[in-house]
A = this chain, B = another copy of it.
Amino acid sequence: MKVVVTGAGGFIGTQLVRELCQRGTLALHPSGEVKISSIVAADLRIPEESRKGLPSWVSFVEGDLSTDEAVDSIIPQEEDFLLFHLAAIVSGDGERDFDLCIRVNLEGTVKLLDACRNSRGRARIVFASSLAVFGGEACPPVVGDETKPLPQTTYGMTKLAGELMINDYSRKDFLDGRAIRLPTIFIRPGKPNAALSSFASGLFREPLGGIDFELPVSREQGVPLLGYRKVVGAFILAMECDGEALGDDRVLTLPSRQYLVRDMISSLQGVAKEKGITLGKIIDQPDPLVIEVVEGWPIGTESKRAEALGMSADSSLEEVIEAYLDDFHEFPGRA
């Protein structure tokens, strides 16, 4: 079975492609174990770190996925295929450039879904949505599949619109779609990105790298966290599961655990001490824009449907910090 991954140059996309390569098969309902014959890893730009060490059956396509040409070049025309659609303008960039966010996240997603619908092959799709579909004054602190969404960013609005498309294209049997709502993902390696939740990774990554970190939110802020390994696992479980069994709503709110920023800091300090890592300093530097948006976000999730499919939150912060150190960290801050 062919697999297409958009956003393959991003953090989760890169990890997802690696995991798919390692597994080599997917346990697709109802057919069971299916061999992955090839992977098309697509994004506007795919950095060298995302390419290295991958087998020859992974090909890379760089292009603007909101254009017909790029979409046509990655969607198989004749055979059944699997599509993980992660490519998107992130929340901070979306607030700065409304038109870009609409073009890529909304029009681009419609283009991609239409290409899937028009393919003679049958498409099974997992769409990356986000807790950013929730917000507003009446938003409960804990959200789930039955909570009314009310986005407070253009990013969140386009993600919710994508969910609507996934549901309607599936209802019409144009394709077999599923969407998963990602909570705040950590620990993202590399440079900070333009997501408004970027601090939740930076808070760990920068000090572990021996770099001082300016904390833009209060230490009392709650954040619904999910480690990146669990997120990659959730994408795969969402692809493998029985779409029909999801019923008339193919959107799943992923599990997360709620932590306060100060708990995140003390877990970080605990792991650093144990591993002999000298941390960069964490400096309180409140950013009104980030605070306003983040305070409107939910701080926890209720995720029974996702959990029934085997998706789960991390058992501890330490588990994710240690995974990050194993996977990415070259210990520049180690004494």
Number of copies: 2
Q: State whether A167 and B154 are in contact (beta carbons under 8 Å apart), knowing that A136-B249, A248-B137 are contacts in the complex.
A: no
Residues 98-110 of A, flagged 1 when their CB comes within 8 A of B and 0 if not, give 1000100000001
Report if A302 contacts B (CB, 8 A).
no
Chain B residues in 8 Å Cβ range of A167: 150-151, 157
Min CB distance A331 to B, Å, is 44
Q: How far is the CA of A72 from the CA of B39 in the complex (A)?
A: 44
Report if A36 contacts B (CB, 8 A).
no
Q: State whether A150 and B98 are in contact (beta carbons under 8 Å apart), knowing that A164-B161, A167-B157 are contacts in the complex.
A: no
- The residue from B152, B165, B171, B174 contacting A171, defined by CB atoms under 8 A apart: B152
Q: How far is the CA of A147 from the CA of B247 in the complex (A)?
A: 18
Report if A210 contacts B (CB, 8 A).
no
Q: State whether A147 and B148 are in contact (beta carbons under 8 Å apart), knowing that A98-B172, A168-B157 are contacts in the complex.
A: yes
Residues 109-142 of A, flagged 1 when their CB comes within 8 A of B and 0 if not, give 0100000000000000000000000011110000
Chain B residues in 8 Å Cβ range of A110: 102
Chain B residues in 8 Å Cβ range of A247: 136-137
Report if A209 contacts B (CB, 8 A).
no
Chain B residues in 8 Å Cβ range of A168: 151, 154, 157
Chain B residues in 8 Å Cβ range of A102: 110
Min CB distance A162 to B, Å, is 10
Report if A274 contacts B (CB, 8 A).
no
Chain B residues in 8 Å Cβ range of A78: none
Q: State whether A151 and B164 are in contact (beta carbons under 8 Å apart), knowing that A98-B172, A172-B98 are contacts in the complex.
A: yes
Chain B residues in 8 Å Cβ range of A146: 138, 148
Q: How far is the CA of A138 from the CA of B149 in the complex (A)?
A: 16
Q: How far is the CA of A174 from the CA of B150 in the complex (A)?
A: 18
Chain B residues in 8 Å Cβ range of A157: 164-165, 167-168
Q: How far is the CA of A150 from the CA of B149 in the complex (A)?
A: 11
- The residue from B147, B149, B152, B248 contacting A152, defined by CB atoms under 8 A apart: B248
Residue of B nearest to A139 (CB): B248
Report if A42 contacts B (CB, 8 A).
no
Residue of B nearest to A117 (CB): B98
Report if A71 contacts B (CB, 8 A).
no
Residue of B nearest to A174 (CB): B98
Say yes or no: A136 contacts B248, CB within 8 Å: yes
Report if A160 contacts B (CB, 8 A).
yes
**A98-B174, A151-B164, A152-B248 provided; 12 other pairs, C-beta below 8 A?**
A136-B247, A138-B249, A147-B148, A148-B148, A150-B248, A150-B249, A152-B171, A154-B168, A157-B164, A157-B167, A160-B164, A161-B161
